Amino acid sequence: MRTVNKLVQFSDRHLEQAALPQYPQSSDEATRRWGNLTKAGLYKQLFVEQFGLCAYTELNIQDFRNEQGSVKGAHIEHIEPKSSFPQKTFDYFNLVLSALDSEDLAEFNKHDRFGGHHKLSSFEPNLFLSPLRSDVNHYFSYSSEDGEIFPDINLEGNEQAKAEYTIDLLNLNASYLKNLRKNWLQELQTEIDKLIDDNANEALKDMAECELCPYDREYSPIHQTTSQLRKFHSASVQLFGTLGLRVINENCPQCI
C-alpha cells in the first residue's frame, strides 16, 4: 500500500451539493443519498490522484482484466464505512478508488474478494492503516517467492498488529492477488538479475526509472491522458532497493 496524496483544493459541485443541507445521520440515509450522487467527476479525480492504482491493492485499474481480457473496474470506496460513519459519506478525504467494481463480484466467491468489497462495514479506526497516511508504505513488505504481503519485520508489536489487521481486513493475501504479485515480481527480478550479472548499471537505472516513475497514458473512460504508475508499485520499489528509492527521489518524489 502506498500513500495517496489528496488535493486540498479539490472541489466537486455534485459532492458538495449532496452533503446539503447536512451530512447523513444514519446508514440508510447515507446509502440512499450516496446512490443518487453523480460520481463521474469524482471518479476521475480519484483516478488521477492515485496514479491509476487501487488505493489498497495497487492494481492498475486500467490493466485490471479478467481471463477473457475484459477490463474489470473499481468503485469509490469509503475508508471509514458510510454504514458506521454516515457523516463522512460525502467527505472527500474519506474517499478513494478501490478494485473491484460491483459487477466483477460474480467472478469471486465471498472469501476471495479483496479491498473494499472484503472490508465492507468492518472497521476499527485504531487499527486500520489508511492509505492516506504519509508513512503507510513503511508498514508492509513483499515476498517475490509467493507474492505474500506481510508486516515489515522492523515494526514494534502494536504497529505490527495494525499491519496484520489491515492485511486481513482487506484480504490483501487473497490467492488472486498473491499470484499476480508473485508473477509480476519474479518477472522483474529476472530482468534485474540479468542486468546485475552484466554489470549494466546504467541499464538497470533506466529500468528502475521505467518501472517506478509515472508514465503518460490515455484512459478512455475519462477521455484524458493521465499520469499512471505500474501495478504493485510499492513491491517493485522494494525489489529495486536503494536504487529504486534514489530514482524516485530524483525523478518523482511524489510517488513514494
- State the pTM of this model: 0.94
pLDDT class of 221 with cuts at 50, 70, 90: low
Answer whether residue 195 shows pLDDT above 50: yes
pLDDT at 212: 97
**Does residue 219 register a pLDDT over 90?**
no
Arithmetic mean of pLDDT, 72-100: 94
pLDDT mean over 20-45: 95
Q: What is the mean pLDDT of residues 65-76?
A: 64
Cα 218 versus chain centre, distance:
19
Q: What is the mean pLDDT of residues 79-92?
A: 96
pLDDT top residue among 103 and 45? 45
Q: Is the pLDDT of residue 99 over 60?
A: yes
Whether the CA torsion 15, 92, 173, 58 is positive or negative: it is positive
Residue 95 has pLDDT above 70, yes or no: yes
What is the four-CA torsion angle of 195, 197, 201, 206, rounded to 10 degrees?
Answer: 10
Torsion of CA 218, 220, 224, 230, to 10 degrees: -40
Q: How far apart are CA 173 and CA 56, in angstroms?
A: 12
Average the pLDDT over 210-225 and give the result.
85
d(CA 22, CA 227): 35
Check: CB of residue 181 under 8 Å from CB of residue 147: yes
Convert 64-90 to b/e letters by CB count within 10 Å (16 or more is b): beeeeeeebbbbebbbbbbbebbebbb
More confident residue, 104 or 90: 90
**What ranges do the domains of the chain cover?**
13-255
For range 132-161, the mean pLDDT: 96
How much is the average pLDDT of 42-48?
Answer: 92
Q: Which residue has the higher pLDDT, 223 or 233?
A: 233
pLDDT higher than threshold 80 for residue 71? no
Q: In the predicted model, what is the mean pLDDT of residues 75-86?
A: 96
